[in-house]
Structure 1
Amino acid sequence: MILNTTHNNPEHKQIIADLIGSPYSLVQKLKMKGIGSKRMIIDEVSPNMQNMMNKVSDINYANIELRPKGIMIMINQGLNNFTWIIPYYQLVIYKVNGSSLHAQGRFIHFRNSKTFKENKRFFDKLLDEKVKYDMQFAMPQSV
């Protein structure tokens, strides 16, 4: 689900909390050593997300925030902000010349640049959180 979060809307906070959980507390953020990525350059997006990209030849940026049951990708388009909410069970990550996140029939590809390399620890943390979430619903091994 993609929300226009340019202006504060209490309904959006409730929708986000229902889909991917409430934000982590300050203590949890400190234990995890941060829950947000640095901004990354968007290289390519799916055709159904083109309306959120800058029309001119500007560079598009996004950053990611972890939540207990998913992630939020915040996309900046000039003065507008969009938030793509992805529960972990829908998230698929590909590591191809950068990183590509797929969910809900959409994708976003981040350029393999200096800003992306600075986020390597964040992506490791993202994968760990996704695996932890998926292991809650793993089928027991038969003997």
Structure 2
Amino acid sequence: MVFNTTYNNEEYKIESTGLVGKKFTLLQRIKQGGIGSSRLIIYKTSPKLNLGKLKFSELDYGNIELRPKGVIVHYTCKLERFSWIIPYYRLVIYNAQSFSIHANGNFIQFLKNKNYIENKKFIDRMVQLKNDFLQLEYYDY
């Protein structure tokens, strides 16, 4: 689900809590070493996520927030901020020439540059949380 979170959105808060759980507590955030990635440069998005944008002229940035039962990908289009809620059971991660997150037929591809390298530990932790939540023993990453 994609929500416009430029301004306070009550429906987003209710849906995000229901789908991916409440935010981690301060103590949990400290133990995990943070729950958010630094910004990543968006290379390409699926048409449904490219809300209101006609061409991809300027750099767009996104970041990923961890939740107990999923992730929320926050990204901007022009001056608006959108949040894409993805439960772990729908989250698919591809790591090839670009790093991409897929769910429900939609995707966001991020460039593999210095921002990606800085977020590598965070991405590994995200995959581990997904495996722990889904009780998977093996995940080829």
Regarding TM over 0.5, the answer is yes
Gaps spanning 5+ residues in structure 2: where?
Answer: none
Match of 1:105 in 2: 105
**Percent of matched pairs sharing the same residue:** 43
Structure 2: how far apart are the matches of 1:76 and 1:39?
11
Gaps spanning 5+ residues in structure 1: where?
Answer: 139-143
How many residue pairs are counted as aligned between the two chains?
Answer: 137
Structure 1: how far apart are the matches of 2:61 and 2:52?
11
Moved over 3 A (4+): 52-56
Tell me the TM-score normalised to structure 2 length. Answer: 0.91
Match of 2:68 in 1: 68
Match of 1:30 in 2: 30
The within-5 A match list for 1:79-90 is: 79-90=79-90
Structure 2: how far apart are the matches of 1:69 and 1:123?
16
Deviations 1:15-46 (A, max 9, x none): 11001000000000000000000000001111
Q: Which has the greater radius of gyration?
A: 1
Tell me the TM-score normalised to structure 1 length. Answer: 0.90
Deviation at 1:50? Answer: 2.3
AA in 1 matched with 2:94: Y
- Alpha carbons of 1:70 and 1:53: their partners in 2 closer, same or farther (altered >3 Å)? farther
The within-5 A match list for 1:17-56 is: 17-51=17-51, 53=53, 55=55
